[in-house]
Structure formats: structure tokens, C-alpha cells
Amino acid sequence: MPRFLAVYTMKPEHLAPFRSQPKDTVGTAQRARGEERHAVPILDRGGMVRKTTRITRDGGRGGNR
């Protein structure tokens, strides 16, 4: 099964407003129910490899989250 790496980009000034938004509990619950319903064909749910690493514009590490 192919594996993919997701890269999320965001301008620094948008980080605080993004973090202050309420969590999407409805969408999360719907996704969990869908995964339960289709558990047999889903062989690998994937998941986070490790903590998110923040990379700066110049390619340096900005710290882990």
C-alpha cells in the first residue's frame, strides 16, 4: 500500500487564529464512525509518524510540537 507524507503550510500570522478555533468534534465523530463501518477493507489506517516538526523558511528546525 502506498504511503504519503502530508505537509501543511501556514503563514505565522495565521497560526494563533487557527489554534483558537473550536475543535471539529462532529467531523471527527463522523470519521470515526466511517472507519468503524469500513474496518474490513481498511487494511492500514495510517497515522502520525511522530510529533510534528516545525521547519522554518530557511529549512531549519523551528522546534517540535
Give the C-alpha separation, 30 to 61, whole Å.
35
pLDDT at 33: 94
Q: pLDDT, tens digit, for every residue of 6-61?
A: 777 888 898 899 889 998 889 989 989 998 999 898 888 777 666 777 777 787 77
The predicted pLDDT at position 58 comes to 80
Instruction: For 2-53, give the DSSP string.
Output: ----------HHHHHHHHHSPP-HHHHHHHHHHHHHTTTT-S-----SSS-E
Q: Is the pTM of this model over 0.85?
A: no
Q: Would you say residue 65 has pLDDT above 60?
A: no
